[in-house]
Amino acid sequence: MFELETPTLDDLEAIGELDARNFGASPLKPDHLEALSHWLDMDRSLVVRDAGRAVAFAASVPFELTLPGLNTVRMSGVTWVSVAPSHTRQGILGQLMHGLDQLAIDHGESVLGLQASTGGIYERFGYGPATRCRVIELDRRAARIANSYNVDRRQVTLYSKAERIERSAEQLDRFDRYRRATIGELSINAAYLKIGDVRSPDEQIYAEHPDGYAIYTISPRWNEGHPAHEISIDSMVWNTPQAHLDLWAAIMASDLVGPIRSRIAIGPDDPLPYFLADPRTLRTVELNDFLWLKVNDPKTAFAARTYRGDASLTIMVEGSDEVLRISPQGVETVSGPADMLADRSALGPLLLGSTSATVLGTGRRVHGSRQTLATADLLFGHGDPVHSQTYI
């Protein structure tokens, strides 16, 4: 067993080198290290040393997570998890993950969340995929918005990256409105934006609407006189249906562009296909997991959301002896057998209502009778999209 220690800011450069090597990235530049020093809290981080050198690291950052009913719950964002190749398969990752669990408890955060670089690692620690992102490609040359929609592109103002940085207060305001109305989305702050500022390309374009914004980059592809530039959308934030429509119309009006692509900005239930005169001009390339959740304190987390119908059920988490009764009236601890047994990795999808209990039951992540699963589908379900586009 190695000892978990609390790092200091003096360790940040060495930790950055460890992370860059493990993830195949370039070493961090001074401005990135400076931005990280304001975002990462070393008291919420863990380091493992061997012979004085950092060989493993993990950090947690406080967020708020929006739940069904549009209430929020405190979440520990797990990030920068890295173990040197020389020290893998020695139990260090397990030590880090258990240490992060305790840090979340110490800070009163009932949920932990992360993005998984490898899909087969984190379920054994209790995490399950709770949101998904829709990787899309839109053929701009063939796509057009249907005539029945009233579009006003003049509501959209284009700014450079430098101008966007100057307008960070406006960006944060628009995003805060968006995340509070979007199940699965996370809070961000000025320190978080600064990380994006130092990592994003200088050519990035900021399209601002009174009720939202989009951030994207155009990569030139001249193709010997047959231009087909590529747009990559990094973020799409909209607080009204009109803002969503106007932002897409402005992006689609870009001349010389062929494909428009997005990896995380579009959710599985995004209404974009319904705007298009020909929905087939939009292709879904992949449907990927994005935000993985671990519910450390089920009673607190499930009490923070709302429920449908008038039924109730009792649930017990595998490995725990606590039985919770969940109903539209609230969550309470009860005695006696549970209607449903759940793997801890199933609690995140149930918390957000992003995967039905019946599907989780078929996948052997929850266990109960067919009637119990049908009751759970009604109780945990809702009609709202679930989406996150916030990297941790």
For 21, phi then psi, to 5°, come to -65, -45
**Could you say which DSSP state residue 162 is in?**
H
Q: What is the structure's pLDDT at 28?
A: 87
pLDDT score recorded for residue 27 = 84
Cα–Cα dist 285/172, whole Å: 30
pLDDT at residue number 25: 86
pLDDT for position 58: 98
Surface-to-core class of residue 336, CB atoms within 10 Å of its CB (0-12 exposed, 13-18 middle, 19+ buried): exposed
> pLDDT tens, position by position, for the chain (392 residues)?
899 999 999 999 999 999 889 888 888 889 999 999 999 999 999 999 999 999 999 999 999 999 999 999 999 999 999 999 999 999 999 999 999 999 999 999 999 999 999 999 999 999 999 999 999 999 999 999 999 999 999 999 999 999 999 999 999 999 999 999 999 999 999 999 999 999 999 999 999 999 999 999 999 999 999 999 999 999 999 999 999 999 999 999 999 999 999 999 999 999 999 999 999 999 999 999 999 999 999 999 999 999 999 999 999 999 999 999 999 999 999 998 999 999 999 999 999 999 999 999 999 999 999 999 999 999 999 999 999 999 99
210 DSSP 8-state letter? T
User: Domains along the chain?
Assistant: 4-109 (3.40.630.30), 133-286 (3.40.630.30), 297-380 (3.30.1050.10)
Task: Say if residues 236 and 220 touch (Cβ distance below 8 Å).
Answer: no
- Kindly give the pairing relationship between strand 229-238 and strand 212-219: antiparallel
Q: Which residues pair with 56 in a beta bridge?
A: 48, 83
Give the span between the Cα atoms of 376 and 359, in whole angstroms.
11
What's the rounded Cα separation, in Å, for the pair 96 and 85? Answer: 15
| pLDDT given for residue 26 in this prediction | 85
How far is it, in rounded angstroms, from Cα 129 to Cα 292? 4
Alpha helices in the chain (DSSP H): 12-23, 30-39, 92-106, 161-166, 168-180, 190-199, 241-252, 272-275, 298-303, 347-352, 357-362, 370-380
In 3D space, the residue among 300, 219, 289 whose CA is nearest the CA of residue 260 turns out to be 219
